[in-house]
Structure 1
Amino acid sequence: MTSPRRILVVVGTRPEAVKLAPVIRRLRKEPARFETLVCATAQHREMLDSVLSLFEIEPDVDLDLMRPDQAPNELASRAFAALDRILIERRPDWLLVQGDTTTAMCAAVAAFHRGVAVGHVEAGLRTGDLARPFPEEMNRRVVDLVADACFAPTRRAADALASEGVAAERIHRTGNTVVDALTEISRRDVDADTPEEDLVLVTAHRRESFGEPLERILSAVGRLARAFPKTRFVHLIHPNPNVRGRVEASEPAANVERIEPLDYRSFLRLLRRCRLVLSDSGGVQEEAPTFGKRVLVLREKTERPEGIEAGFARLVGTDEERIFDEASRILSGRSDLPAPTRSGNPYGDGRAAERIVSALAGIPYEPFEAAAPRVAVV
């Protein structure tokens, strides 16, 4: 009998844990085929632990790499050394990483150097601009360059990989695993039918939003809160000091509630209840369509245009006037964005992990195909 293949799954941040948890759980349902090991770098310590606990995943290895005020190069240097040691000790057949973090890039390159096959979950996302997002655009390109299996969430992502010369047999169109994760958590949640409230959810944390862009976002939120005094604005404050310092230095309006980051289950409850989302988060762009929520994307470019094409989102950047104008139109019922529905998530159908594990096992599967866009909005 053939020995099970050893799969080393490396996670560092909360989004990675959310999106890799369905894959880990699926792999562990097939112990005859796969021996699954989980390595945590703890790039986001508390937020990572919370998600792993929610999905009942205990890391086999915890590198605990993050330090206060750690620069990207310092983290990368320590990650390369620690991950190389784990590769030597554990001798995996495959290494799986997700997305575009420093953890993902370092793990993929370290595995490449050791001759270990690399699988990249959420491959093929592109803005075409190395500065937006920084350093994520570079990280994901590097991972895709060395990956033996590129698990592209959408047709657009798969086409991007093909246009860069990635061989067809390396590209697998799977859907995004975040839809698997939120579907599972929502299925468990007794509060899943909570009605929508007159509530706006605000998140902003990306590196390109630091400084003046974040100031403009905060100013726009303040103006919106004063213009719509009966609407509740809930702003989740990211722990990064570049974000927290700016937010705490400004005085919120009476109907703006600033809260600490939520565990994933509580976050999904808030997303389900809100009327509108203002966010620069990639994950929120993917999660919101499942609940029929509209998102104003607080970025100049996005690697997730599918939500815009499907009518769930609009790219507004960080210009104060545009944020205020677009949000005001939605809140006053004057927007040309279509009424939100739960007509299908353009990023996935809840079966991405199943397709990824089938691909790793060499079992044929039906590639993910999103429903036709409801409307094209620019």
Structure 2
Amino acid sequence: MNVRRIMVVTGSRADWGPLRPVVRAMSSDVRTESLIVVTGAHCDPRLGATASEIEAEGVEIARRVPLGDGPMSDQMARDTQGVGEAFRELTPDAALVLGDRYEALAAATAIVAEGGFLAHLHGGEITTGAIDNQFRYAITALAHLHLVATKGARTRLVAMGERPERVIVTGAPGLDGVVAPLAAGHGSSEPFVLVTLHSETLGGDPEEQARTLIEALDRVGRPCVITGANADPGGETINTVLRDACEQRENWTFEMNLGATRYREAMTRAACMVGNSSSGIIEAASFGLRVVNIGSRQDGRERSGNVADVAWDAEAIATETRRAIDAGRWSGDNVYGDGRASERIVEALATVDLTDRTKPFSPPSTRLG
């Protein structure tokens, strides 16, 4: 039996978290083998150089593609070149990327340019408040197989003209292995707020937004665990403001990168989550964690009942945060799946026809002939 060698490209903790269970499932399936290529924040000391954490889990890294610093377009150019070189050297049967980050788009471009078969996780979603929305659509246009998290995402991709048999609802792999939530609290009598803020890449002043968030959290008056922003433009500004705020407050902690295990533990034990991270939209419901989602970054994404949306207003943010804390743990179904996505993803990767790479490029109702 021929083993399918799948090149998995990851650029940060944000995509490695949901990719981890997929890679583990591949290693447990005799039909598949993963080849891990790390780029982006994984290779950047300023953002935690998290490739070491992947290796600490016992996962072998096949290639590293450092992007350096500079404008996003410069980093994408280096990413495209580096992933293209990795593809030629590793000669995989197919490649897998996740989500909507610029690292994923650059990698997808390289893979298709090298004649590769591309599978895409988490397509068909909407985030109108971030440039990632456009990146996600572009990756959809490049991909040959779409492994989506929700029925709504599948409906969108089929309406765009993607072949229905190549759009498979798997659920979100980031939910795989989530355990039942524990009681809120972190070892003290007072619960903490888990905070992650990223920049709104299509508008808004990141420094002003960070200071608005600080004002709101001061009004709430609870301990805070704050994790670092990603590598988007404005992220360094946010990190500087929030790190300085933590240094001035005894019960606030800034962690550039908690790592997957500690981040899950924080989600399990936090009283609520505040910010605009996709983890609040996708994963938090499976932990029973209530989320105060701020601003427009996640606009358009499907939500479970644990999410409350609020504008950039300090008092409104504080009010919703108090309400979330007082309400306690949330109970309900997560619209992003049942925690069995990885097995469905691996089944699709192991059985799809890799020789068929046709793309329709138009909705069925508009095709000529």
Q: TM above 0.5, one fold?
A: yes
Question: Match of 1:66, SS?
Answer: coil
8 Å CA contact 1:150, 1:171 repeated in 2: yes
Residue type of the alignment partner of 2:314: E
Residue type of the alignment partner of 1:12: G
Give the C-alpha shift of residue 23 in structure 1: 1.2
Stretch of structure 1 that moved more, 271-280 or 261-270 = 261-270
Q: What TM-score does the superposition give when structure 1 sets the normalisation length?
A: 0.81
Question: 2:191 and 2:42 mapped to 1: Cα distance?
Answer: 31
8 Å CA contact 1:237, 1:258 repeated in 2: no
Aligned residue in 1 for 2:37: 39
Give the C-alpha shift of residue 215 in structure 1: 2.5
Question: 1:321 and 1:61 mapped to 2: Cα distance?
Answer: 47
Give the C-alpha shift of residue 362 in structure 1: 2.5
8 Å CA contact 2:207, 2:237 repeated in 1: no
Q: What TM-score does the superposition give when structure 2 sets the normalisation length?
A: 0.82
Cα distance change on mapping 1:303 and 1:3 into 2, 3 Å: farther
Question: Match of 1:120, SS?
Answer: strand
Aligned residue in 1 for 2:74: 74
Cα distance change on mapping 1:137 and 1:147 into 2, 3 Å: same
Give the C-alpha shift of residue 194 in structure 1: 5.7
Question: 1:165 and 1:303 mapped to 2: Cα distance?
Answer: 23
Cα distance change on mapping 1:54 and 1:205 into 2, 3 Å: farther
Question: Match of 2:8, SS?
Answer: strand
Q: What is the CA deviation profile of residues 237-261 of structure 1, one whole-angstrom value per residue up to 9, with x for unaligned ones?
A: 4374222223345587746503223
Question: Match of 1:306, SS?
Answer: coil
2:212 to 208, 215, 219: 219
Unaligned runs of 5+ in 2: 353-369
Aligned residue in 1 for 2:156: 160
Aligned residue in 1 for 2:349: 360
Unaligned runs of 5+ in 1: 364-378
Task: Tell me: higher relative CO, structure 1 or 2? Use CA pairs within 8 A at least 6 residues apart.
Answer: 2
Aligned residue in 1 for 2:358: none
Give the C-alpha shift of residue 77 in structure 1: 0.8
CA RMSD of aligned residues (A): 2.7
Give the C-alpha shift of residue 95 in structure 1: 0.7
Question: Match of 1:119, SS?
Answer: strand
Q: Does 1:234 align with 2:225?
A: yes
Residue type of the alignment partner of 1:75: Q
Residue type of the alignment partner of 1:199: F
Question: 1:252 and 1:218 mapped to 2: Cα distance?
Answer: 14
Question: 1:292 and 1:133 mapped to 2: Cα distance?
Answer: 26
Question: Match of 1:345, SS?
Answer: coil
Aligned residue in 2 for 1:347: 336
Q: What is the CA deviation profile of residues 20-78 of structure 1, one whole-angstrom value per residue up to 9, with x for unaligned ones?
A: 111111112223x2232111124333353254146431211122x132x4211111111
Q: What is the CA deviation profile of residues 89-138 of structure 1, one whole-angstrom value per residue up to 9, with x for unaligned ones?
A: 222221111111222111211121222110001111113x3xx212x112
Cα distance change on mapping 1:251 and 1:87 into 2, 3 Å: closer
8 Å CA contact 1:125, 1:303 repeated in 2: no
Residue type of the alignment partner of 2:254: I
Give the C-alpha shift of residue 270 in structure 1: 1.7
Question: 1:217 and 1:209 mapped to 2: Cα distance?
Answer: 16
8 Å CA contact 2:120, 2:145 repeated in 1: yes
Cα distance change on mapping 1:312 and 1:202 into 2, 3 Å: same
Cα distance change on mapping 1:248 and 1:58 into 2, 3 Å: same
Question: 1:19 and 1:282 mapped to 2: Cα distance?
Answer: 12
8 Å CA contact 1:12, 1:48 repeated in 2: no
Q: What is the CA deviation profile of residues 343-375 of structure 1, one whole-angstrom value per residue up to 9, with x for unaligned ones?
A: 332212111110011112238xxxxxxxxxxxx
Q: Does 1:244 align with 2:244?
A: no
Question: 1:250 and 1:238 mapped to 2: Cα distance?
Answer: 15
8 Å CA contact 2:124, 2:157 repeated in 1: yes
Q: Does 1:149 align with 2:145?
A: yes
8 Å CA contact 1:95, 1:111 repeated in 2: yes
Aligned residue in 2 for 1:204: 197
8 Å CA contact 1:47, 1:263 repeated in 2: no
Give the C-alpha shift of residue 233 in structure 1: 2.5
8 Å CA contact 2:67, 2:78 repeated in 1: no
Q: Does 1:133 align with 2:130?
A: yes
Aligned residue in 1 for 2:361: none
Aligned residue in 1 for 2:359: none
Aligned residue in 2 for 1:290: 286
Residue type of the alignment partner of 1:201: L
Question: Match of 2:339, SS?
Answer: coil
8 Å CA contact 2:10, 2:104 repeated in 1: yes
Identity %: 26
Residue type of the alignment partner of 2:16: A
Aligned residue in 2 for 1:90: 90
Question: 1:277 and 1:178 mapped to 2: Cα distance?
Answer: 17
Cα distance change on mapping 1:362 and 1:42 into 2, 3 Å: same
8 Å CA contact 2:184, 2:329 repeated in 1: no
Stretch of structure 1 that moved more, 21-30 or 251-260 = 251-260
Cα distance change on mapping 1:254 and 1:91 into 2, 3 Å: closer
Question: 1:62 and 1:343 mapped to 2: Cα distance?
Answer: 40
Question: Match of 2:50, SS?
Answer: helix
Cα distance change on mapping 1:52 and 1:303 into 2, 3 Å: farther
Give the C-alpha shift of residue 278 in structure 1: 0.5
